[in-house]
Amino acid sequence: MSDSASGPVSESASGPGAGDAAIRMLTAGSGELDDDALWQLYAPTPRDSPVLRVNFVQSLDGSATVQGLSGGLGGPADKRVFDTLRALADVVLVGAGTARSEGYGALTVAPEHRARRRALGLPEDPAMALVSGRLDLDPASALFAEAPRRPLVFTTSGAPADARGRLAEVADVVEAGTGRVDPALVVRELHARGLAQILCEGGPSFFGDLIAAGLVDELCLTISPVLEGGHGPRIATAPRTATDGSATGGSSMPLGFELGHIASSGGLLLMRWVHRDGDGRPA
């Protein structure tokens, strides 16, 4: 489910926990979290230390969608976390397929979050960055036409020249790879532009690329109390393989994570996981 004015909305009026936006901690304390406490819970420290955070919702049986969209899995509490994570980010990074299917619009945050951002000396809204090898994006869509900040589009050197020209009128088009967008180049370019706090919202293919490249620092994961039945995708899918069956790049080693916190709202579990290196320290 989506909101054409501000991007996807991780909630459904009839979805799990639809009547309850209250969030209560299950770890590191107790009690209900108001908006200020939720902001502090997810706020990066220090602000200028680069972090790539990924946010997903999934069903109990591991599906990232219900009937093709993520909206049916969330609820008002998940939406509160979703909005908070966006407001804390310097840039929201998303694959073009997810932006199309979830109906992304211009990236803006709520007035109260804008006030918090101004107090930190940040622009009122985070930047938007998209990943698209084919540049199959509509430059006249609200995502570009109504954007408060000029979006970034990461693509390949072989992207269609005509599509590149159309998008260059409304976005900064950046080459980041040849046959496939290289996530390490994307992250490097974002950091070079002073966008240290990166929030990735998918999709599963790009999340798989980030995992393979060892770039994920945090995963914010909502578990929805529904069984989808096995039709939907996982939240991450492996990178494409070459003709010899080998991976196209990155590491196949599992990335170790430690629990940051668990909160709950109705039947929803709202978790934050932090990547640790081999010595058990924050990566």
**Interval 149-155 mean pLDDT:** 98
Q: What are phi and psi of 271, to 5 degrees?
A: -120, 150
pLDDT computed for residue 17 by the predictor: 53
CB neighbours of residue 160 within 10 Å = 13
pLDDT computed for residue 241 by the predictor: 54
**Interval 231-257 mean pLDDT:** 67
Predicted confidence (pLDDT) at residue 13 exceeds the cutoff of 90: no
Q: Which helix (H) or strand (E) holds 190?
A: helix 183-192
Assigned CATH class of 48-236+256-275: alpha beta
Proportion of the chain above pLDDT 90, given as a percent: 75
Q: How far apart are CA 263 and CA 23, in angstroms?
A: 6
Cis peptide bond N-terminal to 203, omega within 30: yes
For 36-58, letters b (16+ CB in 10 Å) and e give: eebbebbebeeeeeebbbbbbbb
pLDDT band at 19, cuts 50/70/90? Answer: low
- State the burial class of residue 62 (Cβ atoms within 10 Å of its Cβ: 0-12, 13-18, 19+): middle
Q: 107-126: per-residue pLDDT in tens?
A: 999 999 999 999 999 999 99
Q: 20-69: per-residue pLDDT in tens?
A: 789 999 986 667 999 999 999 999 989 999 999 999 999 999 999 988 88
pLDDT band at 280, cuts 50/70/90? Answer: very low
**Interval 202-230 mean pLDDT:** 95
pLDDT computed for residue 283 by the predictor: 53
CB neighbours of residue 30 within 10 Å = 8
Quick one: DSSP state of residue 13?
A: T
Predicted confidence (pLDDT) at residue 281 exceeds the cutoff of 90: no
Q: What are phi and psi of 152, to 5 degrees?
A: -105, 145
Predicted confidence (pLDDT) at residue 245 exceeds the cutoff of 50: no
Quick one: DSSP state of residue 109?
A: -
